[in-house]
A and B are shown apart, each in its own frame.
Chain A
Amino acid sequence: MEENLLIVENVEKSFGSQKILDGVSFKLNKGDVKVIVGPSGTGKSTLLRCINLLNPPDKGKIYLQNTEITSLPHSKIPSIRQKIGMVFQHFALFNHLSAIDNVALGLIKVKKMNKTDAYNKALRELKRVGLDQHKDKYPAQLSGGQKQRVGIARALAMDPLLILFDEPTSALDPELIGEVLQVMQDLAKDGMTMICVTHEMGFAKSVANEVIFMEKGKIVEQGPPLKLFTEATHPRTREFLSKISELYGESEKK
């Protein structure tokens, strides 16, 4: 019996009179890496924010491990969120906390771990993203790439079932993108389940098992990256992919 880790079913979301998501459905298995691409304003970020209920969908259902999370009472939502990691475009580190405190906070306050264990685990996660040397630095003392790696470590520390990446490299200087993508690739190879909104096509080609192309709140086309890049059926998909391959493709060639 195959169990989908996450099922998104006909999700719709509007802000005011503007429909951002117009019936999005997909399934995710454990270990899947899905990359979502599409023009800006298409609802990619909103989709991620629906999944961890930061912006609960207006219609449709989302199941996590066969539990419908879209109909849960308010008080149960935090326990769902801790199972779904999120990495933000602008890092969103807790600015008043050092790198290690950023990572340890959830362990202590949400998982109620004792402080020694929490800090040991936090240090391991920082090591995993190559930042154990910088554990006592505050966000203002870190580069963008380092901040984002702390953001990833913070998500990892909660041992989530999956991690959502919301354009994790688009706020970074070009020379800092590589270090973040490297961490993400390592995670993917370690079997982490990931949904990434990103235009880094090199990343998509090397680790994604599916690329989803979204436009105007709908999934236009989806499939394995190579298939989508070489033989997309929709002209819009082809047009868009060739455009971003031109823009982003080169930065990832090794």
Chain B
Amino acid sequence: MFFSKLIPYIPSLIKGLGITLELTLLSAIIGFIAAIFLVVGVLYGNRFFKSLCNFIITLIRGTPMMVQLFLIYFGLPGINIRLSPLTAAIIAFIINSSAYQAEYLKGGFMAISKEQIEAAYSIGLNKWDAIRLIIFPQAFRFAIPALSNEIVYLIQYTSVAYTIGLPELFYISKNFASKTYMNIEIYLFIGIIYLIFIYIITKLTDFVEKKLYIPGFDTSHLK
């Protein structure tokens, strides 16, 4: 009964899943790159950049995701910037995720002893090479578990983009529910789909962690 009603929705569910994953991956990856700039600014920038990056992080983490999303989608047209729901969602999630990822990376950076950068200086590396070649590779490994958590969080939290009419996975399901009244069935069903993808992501990050494994950087004893 449920599945026969579901069949016509399958193409849009697949499309919705695609949008969910696109939104998640773009926010995770571009957010990660932005996070590197933020955390390096906070930890190694001059006074101006330190304050600026701290301010950005505080601002983003201090306001609800939904407020940021609505500001970009419904607020920006007020100054004549009109974005599609997808573009608005991508921008909002990149901004939001970058601040959280910056905090996770910061934890990794702070786990590295000061002697590491001094040793890098002592062989003649300059500050930025020392950060790039010595500090970041270690900090990143320490931050992997937290960063993988961020991806899991993003997959789930991208569902709030339904509020601006983005036809992602949750939006399609909600449509289906309002037309068929099969609330239990459809929400259980997409719950399972989310679960499957989160399971796959978890396995993928485990794989990445194993690939990057270096003795002394093992976090498996913490799991």
What residues of chain A have their CB less than 8 Å away from a CB belonging to chain B?
A: 52, 54, 75, 78-79, 81-82, 84-86, 88, 90, 92-96, 105-106, 109-110, 137-141, 154-155, 158
Question: Per a CB cutoff under 8 Å, which of B118, B122, B125, B138 touches A95?
Answer: B138
Closest to B124 in A: A82
A92-B118 contact, Cβ under 8 Å, with A81-B124, A154-B123:
yes
Please tell me the number of chain B residues within 8 Å of chain A, measured between CB atoms: 22
Report chain A residues within 8 Å CB of B129.
Answer: 109
**Counting CB contacts under 8 A, is B62 at the interface?**
no
Which of chain A's residues has its CB closest to B216's CB?
A140
Inter-chain CA distance A82–B124, complex, in Å, is 4
A75 cross-chain contacts in B, Cβ below 8 A: 126
A155 to B201, CA, bound (A): 42
B122 touches A96 (CB 8 A): no
Set B118, B137, B215: member contacting A88, Cβ < 8 A: B118
With contacts A96-B217, A139-B216 taken as known, whether A88 is within 8 angstroms of B123 at the C-beta atoms is no
Given contacts A86-B119, A88-B115, A88-B118, contact A95 B216 (CB under 8 A): yes
CB A122 to nearest CB in B, in angstroms, measures 12
A78-B126, A96-B217 known; A109 vs B119 contact (CB < 8 Å) = no
Q: Which residues of chain B are within 8 angstroms of A94 by Cβ–Cβ distance?
A: 116, 119-120, 134, 138
Contact B115 A92 (CB under 8 A): yes
Of all chain B residues, which has the CB nearest A83? B124
A52, B214: Cβ atoms closer than 8 Å: no
Chain A residues near B216 (CB, 8 Å)? 95, 138-141
25 A-B pairs within 8 Å (CB atoms) are namely A52-B122, A54-B122, A78-B121, A78-B126, A79-B124, A81-B121, A81-B122, A81-B124, A82-B123, A82-B124, A84-B122, A88-B115, A88-B118, A92-B113, A92-B118, A92-B119, A95-B116, A95-B216, A96-B134, A96-B138, A96-B141, A96-B217, A106-B125, A109-B129, A158-B124
Q: Are A110's CB and B215's CB within 8 A?
A: no
Contact: A81 with B217, CB < 8 Å?
no
B133 on interface, CB distance cutoff 8 Å: yes
* Other-chain contact of A138, B122, B123, B125, B215 (Cβ < 8 Å): B215
**Chain B residues within 8 Å of A88, by CB:** 115, 118-119, 122
A206 to B150, CA, bound (A): 58
A106→B124 contact, CB < 8 A: yes
B92-132: CB near A (< 8 Å → 1, else 0) gives: 00000000000000000000010110111111111001000
Within the assembled complex, what's the spacing in Å between the Cα atoms of A90 and B116? Answer: 10
CB-CB under 8 A from B126, the residues of chain A are 75, 78
Please give, as numbers and ranges, the residues of chain B lying within 8 Å of A93 by CB-CB distance.
Answer: 119
User: Which residues of B (195-223) have their CB < 8 Å from a CB of A?
Assistant: 214-217
Chain B: minimal CB distance from A27 (Å): 22
With a cutoff of 8 Å between Cβ atoms, the chain B residues found around residue A138 in the complex are 214-216
Closest partner residue, chain B, to A140 (CB atom): B216
| Residue numbers in B under 8 Å from A96 (CB-CB) | 134, 137-138, 141, 214, 217
CB distance B214 to A110 under 8 Å?
no
Q: How far is the CA of A92 from the CA of B113 in the complex (A)?
A: 9
CB closest residue in chain B, given A54: B118
Max chain A C-beta neighbours (<10 A), residue from B122, B215, B216: B122
Q: Closest B-chain residue to A103, C-beta based?
A: B123
The closest CB in chain A to the CB of B112 belongs to A95
Q: A-facing mask of B4-45, CB < 8 A → 1, else 0?
A: 000000000000000000000000000000000000000000
B125 touches A109 (CB 8 A): yes
The list of the 7 closest CB pairs from A to B, nearest first, reads: A82-B124, A140-B216, A106-B123, A92-B119, A86-B122, A92-B115, A140-B215
How far apart are the CA atoms of A79 and B116 in the complex, in Å? 19
Residues on A with C-beta less than 8 A from B134 are 94, 96
CA distance A82 to B115 in the complex (A): 16
How long is the Cα–Cα vector from A158 to B120 in the complex, in angstroms? 12
Please indicate the chain B residues that have their CB under 8 angstroms from the CB of A85 in the complex: 122-123
Closest residue to A138 on the B side, CB-wise?
Answer: B215
What residue in chain B is nearest A139 (Cβ atoms)?
A: B216
Q: Can you name the residue of chain B whose Cβ is closest to the Cβ of A157?
A: B123
Contact A141–B122 (Cβ < 8 Å): no
- Closest beta carbon of chain A to B134's beta carbon, Å: 5
